[in-house]
Amino acid sequence: MGHGTVQDFIPTRTAGLERLSRFLPHAGADYARMRNHDLGAGLHVHVSSLSPWIRHRLLTEAEVLEAVLARHSPNAAEKFVQEVYWRTYWKGWLEQRPAVWEMYQRGLRAALDRVQTQSGLRSNWADACTGQTGIDAFDHWAQELVQTGYLHNHARMWFASIWIFTLRLPWELGADFFLRHLLDGDPASNTLSWRWVAGLQTKGKTYLARADNIETYTGGRFRPKGLASVAVPLDGPDAPRVPLPLPQTLDPSRSCALLLHDDDLSPAYLFDQGLTPVATACLVTARDRSPLHVAPHLERFVTGAMADVTTRWADRLGPLTPALTGIEAVVDWARGTGARQIVTPHAPIGPNATALRTLEAALNPDGIRLVRLQRPFDSAAWPHATAGFFKFKEKIPALIGSLKGIGLVSSGRN
């Protein structure tokens, strides 16, 4: 079961289901015992590697959890279940603090400006991105990420810690490096995980990469020299908490068109609410994940995933416009459909949410309504993402109990 190349991540629901099927026997005690061991590209056999499919919802969290809990007891599968819910928790947390995403983007633009004017920073940043720092483990991970679009979660933490505290590079540049290359990179998980390592997310709590820990959990492959011995927390402003968006519903008296995006490519729950679109289009925002060029493998994965979902659901979509980039093109398409409401999956904070806000404002003068339909899985979980994960974690058993009926039954056509 190798994961050594981009080709190991095929952007189809079928490929995701096959990966899930292979992982299921290992989702209990094996995962709990071995999940922190990074054995290298091609050998990530102790984790599911499902995240690229879950991030774009070719597979939904609910169906993955249902499949695992059909095979393992809640106690045996606890660690894996929590890992799935981390992504949900981060999304819900950021949804209530959108200013954190805006602060990250401002910080990134400022850091890129500094890169243009400070040759030393530019050189150190380039060495980090190409894996030429001389820190063997870090350089290996930089190159693995660029080549495969994936990194083991433990390696991501070590990498971020070395980037921030040993190389002393702006954390925003590191978060951007990940978002440009990770097949599973999403604004919430990525931004908030980097903030956590830096000591910004949980005030004063940082993550320090240590050579002995790296040696233990890489099977002795690396024991890097010269790592920082302390991790002094970075400082940054707090963000105000805002209410979660109110749920929206279809207006059955208005004709509908469907706009898909890469935050949710399992539209069955929309059809279950009575959606019968007169036309469908795909909004492509992969390039908006960074002000720099995103990796070609990332764009290929997103466009491949969209081709997969539109092929599987072709008989329900009406006339299809497969790839729209830029709001002007989406506005023209929306007007051309003759629909009075454009229905789309709710997009959590990030490029799609930003694009949809712009689209909504552009369609208002035409009297065309933009309806963002939230998935029940998110509606149930996000209100609990108000503080740290520990408080959220206490709600997981009840959230699992509410899964019945929103998971496997209606997630997608195989």
DSSP for residue 278 = S
Q: Does 280 score more than 60 pLDDT?
A: yes
Mean pLDDT for all residues in the chain: 95
Contacts of residue 174, defined as CB under 8 A and 6 or more positions apart, other chains included, come to: 128, 159, 160, 163, 164, 194
Tell me the C-alpha distance between 129 and 292, whole Å.
13
User: What was the pLDDT predicted at 407?
Assistant: 45
Please state at what angle helix 187-198 crosses helix 78-95, rounded to 10 degrees.
100
Domains 6-95+381-410 and 98-217 in one fold: no
DSSP assignment of 256-273, as one string?
A: EEEEEBTTB--THHHHHT
Q: Exposure pattern of 121-140 as b/e (b: 16+ CB <10 Å)?
A: beebbebbbebebebebbbb
User: What was the pLDDT predicted at 412?
Assistant: 60
Place of tokens 């991970």: 141
Tell me the C-alpha distance between 132 and 257, whole Å.
49
Confidence class for position 413, pLDDT limits 50, 70, 90: low
Tell me the C-alpha distance between 1 and 388, whole Å.
35
Any bridge partners for residue 343, and if so which? 258, 371
User: What was the pLDDT predicted at 42?
Assistant: 86
Contacts of residue 60, defined as CB under 8 A and 6 or more positions apart, other chains included, come to: 54, 266, 375, 377, 407, 411, 412
For residue 233, which of 209, 192, 204 has the smallest C-alpha distance?
A: 204
Each residue of 286-322: pLDDT tens digit? 999 999 999 999 999 999 999 999 999 999 999 999 9
User: What was the pLDDT predicted at 312?
Assistant: 97
User: What was the pLDDT predicted at 8?
Assistant: 86
Each residue of 133-190: pLDDT tens digit? 999 999 999 999 999 999 999 999 999 999 999 999 999 999 999 999 999 999 999 9
Contact 381, 89 (CB under 8 A): yes
Strand-pair category, 341-345 with 369-373: parallel
Sheet holding 320-324, edge to edge: 320-324, 280-283, 256-260, 341-345, 369-373
Each residue of 204-226: pLDDT tens digit? 899 999 999 999 999 999 999 99
For residue 267, which of 257, 403, 184, 9 has the smallest C-alpha distance?
A: 257
Any bridge partners for residue 371, and if so which? 343
For residue 359, which of 330, 323, 325 has the smallest C-alpha distance?
A: 330
Q: Is 324 helix (H, G, I), strand (E, B) or coil?
A: strand
Residue 367's identity, in one-letter code, is G
The token pair at 313 is 């659901």
Each residue of 329-367: pLDDT tens digit? 999 999 999 999 999 999 999 999 999 999 999 999 999
- What percent of the chain shows pLDDT beyond 90? 93
Residue 283: count other Cβ atoms within 10 Å of its Cβ.
Answer: 26
How far does Cα 34 stand from its chain's mean position? 23
Q: Does 2 score more than 70 pLDDT?
A: no
Tell me the C-alpha distance between 369 and 361, whole Å.
10
User: What was the pLDDT predicted at 6?
Assistant: 61
Domain ranges in the chain are 6-95+381-410, 98-217, 256-373
Across the range 221-240, mean pLDDT stands at 96
The pair phi, psi for residue 158, each rounded to 5°, is -60, -45
Domain 256-373 falls in which CATH fold?
Rossmann fold (3.40.50)
Q: Does 411 score more than 60 pLDDT?
A: no
User: What was the pLDDT predicted at 409?
Assistant: 41
User: Checking phi first, is residue 49 left (phi over 0); if not, alpha (psi -120 to 50) or beta?
Assistant: left
Across the range 68-82, mean pLDDT stands at 96
Contact 63, 411 (CB under 8 A): yes
DSSP for residue 319 = S
Q: Does 369 score more than 90 pLDDT?
A: yes
The token pair at 19 is 């990966």
The token pair at 73 is 């007891």
Domain 6-95+381-410 falls in which CATH fold?
1.25.40
The pair phi, psi for residue 341, each rounded to 5°, is -145, 140
Instruction: Indicate the CATH number of 98-217 among 3.40.50.300, 1.10.579.10, 1.10.10.10, 3.40.50.620.
Output: 1.10.579.10
